[in-house]
Structure 1
Amino acid sequence: MRTIVQCVEEILVNQSFLEEALERKIINYSALAEELRAPISEMLRKPVKVGAIMMALRRYQTPSHIKSTSHVKKVLRQMGDITLRSNLYAFTLKNSVSLIESHSLLLDYVASNPHLFYAFTRGLVESNIMISGSEKEKADKIFKNEIILSRRGNLSAISVQLPQNNYKIAGLYYQFFKHLAWNGIAVYEVVSTSNEITILVEDSVIEKAFSVIKSLKS
């Protein structure tokens, strides 16, 4: 049978923003306990007191592997160049046998125009292609026989060079998404390699997004 403490831990672990605010002591225990009373009562199937929840909140200890951010901060300070690209075009296509052939035509074109921005991700049922906005008509022509599920223009990309072995640092990508989310910035697409991450956002928020990511270095 679960206890109030276990319920509090379960809720906080699944709400990382809430857990961090609690860890930084920028949240009102009484107000939070009142907010959690209903869900915890439902989880335990019996009424619980706000005071008991407050006690559980005050005793809560963030797991050590989450609490320790020294390695993450060190890696963020070692970030390399941050590159901006604007006026990008992205579209999603349904996977098909002919898509690979169509994609090869685009790759030939990109190879002869190395200045262009280009990124490609393939999922189980659909694929995303991102390219410089100036090549929108060219891309549409190449994929005219494919099923295009969505199109989106007016996008910008922020590419960040990461240190070697960054993949060993738990929570590194979380720092990017967390700070962007805290600033109300929605992420349209993410493309990553071993030592580089590219985040696509709308043109209207690119300056704010760049400022947020740049601040992580300090």
Structure 2
Amino acid sequence: MKTISNCVEDILISQPYLEEALARNIINYSALAVELTEPISKMLKKEVKPGAIMMALRRYNPPPTLGNTIKMKKVIQNLGDITVRSNLTDFTVKNSSTLIDNHAKILERINQEDKLFYTFTRGIHESNIIVSSSVSDFVKNHLKHEHFIAVQENLSAISINLPQDNSKIAGLYYHFFKRLAWEGVVLYEVLSTTNEFTILVEDEFVDKAFTAIKKVKS
């Protein structure tokens, strides 16, 4: 049987910003309890008093990864260089039997210039190619027989070098996404390798996104 505490936990887990504010003791328990009275009453299908909800809020124990643990602080302090690349174009195409062959021809062109930006991601149903806009016409020409799902120009990539063993730290990416969301930055794509994390944004967001990531690092 579901309890008030179960309902409080479900709501907080689904709203990480609210959960973090509660963990940092920067939220008014009484006001939040009143706000949650109606949704929790609906979840339990009976009337619930704010006082009972407030008690559940005070007893709630957030996951330890939400706090700024010593391990998390050390990882964030050891974040590497932040690199910005502009003038990028993103191609999303439907997977086909000819896509790999056409992609191989594009790679031959990419390999001729060391300074070109390039990434390729193959999903179950579609593939994504991000390249410097200087070769976008070349890419379009070699994919002209493919089915384009989306083409987006005027993009910038912000890459962050991550310290070793970052993949063993729970909640690391959460700090980036939280800050970017708070700053109102819309992410167009997210890419990562073992020790590198890259976000792709439209040019109008690049300054705000860079500042947001710098705040995480500092």
> Could you say what secondary structure the match of 2:186 adopts?
coil
- Give the letter aligned to residue 148 of structure 1: F
For 1:176 and 1:67, how far apart are their aligned partners in 2?
15
- Give the letter aligned to residue 161 of structure 2: Q
For 1:14 and 1:62, how far apart are their aligned partners in 2?
12
- Hey, what does 2:2 align to over in structure 1? 2
- Hey, what does 2:42 align to over in structure 1? 42
TM-score, structure 1 as length reference: 0.96
- Hey, what does 1:178 align to over in structure 2? 178
- Hey, what does 2:115 align to over in structure 1? 115
The correspondence of residues 6-17 of structure 1 with structure 2, limited to 5 A, is 6-17=6-17
Indicate whether 1:164 and 2:173 are aligned. Answer: no
- Hey, what does 1:56 align to over in structure 2? 56
5+ residue gaps, structure 1, are none
> Could you say what secondary structure the match of 1:216 adopts?
helix
- Hey, what does 1:30 align to over in structure 2? 30
- Hey, what does 1:126 align to over in structure 2? 126
For 2:83 and 2:110, how far apart are their aligned partners in 1?
19
For 2:49 and 2:151, how far apart are their aligned partners in 1?
51
5+ residue gaps, structure 2, are none
* C-alpha RMSD of the superposition: 1.2
- Give the letter aligned to residue 135 of structure 1: V
Q: Is the 8 A contact 2:159 2:199 kept in 1?
A: yes
**Displacement of 1:70 after TM fit?**
2.7
C-alpha distance after superposition, 1:156-211 (max 9, x if no partner): 00011111111011111111111101111011101111110111011111111111
Indicate whether 1:82 and 2:58 are aligned. Answer: no
Indicate whether 1:212 and 2:215 are aligned. Answer: no
Percent identity over the alignment? 57
C-alpha distance after superposition, 1:2-59 (max 9, x if no partner): 1111210121122111100111222222222122112211111111011111121122
For 1:189 and 1:127, how far apart are their aligned partners in 2?
13
**Displacement of 1:87 after TM fit?**
1.2
For 2:182 and 2:72, how far apart are their aligned partners in 1?
18
For 2:13 and 2:72, how far apart are their aligned partners in 1?
19
For 1:71 and 1:202, how far apart are their aligned partners in 2?
33
Q: Is the 8 A contact 2:78 2:163 kept in 1?
A: yes
Which stretches of structure 1, 4 residues or more, deviate above 6 A after TM superposition? none
**Displacement of 1:68 after TM fit?**
5.3
For 1:163 and 1:196, how far apart are their aligned partners in 2?
9
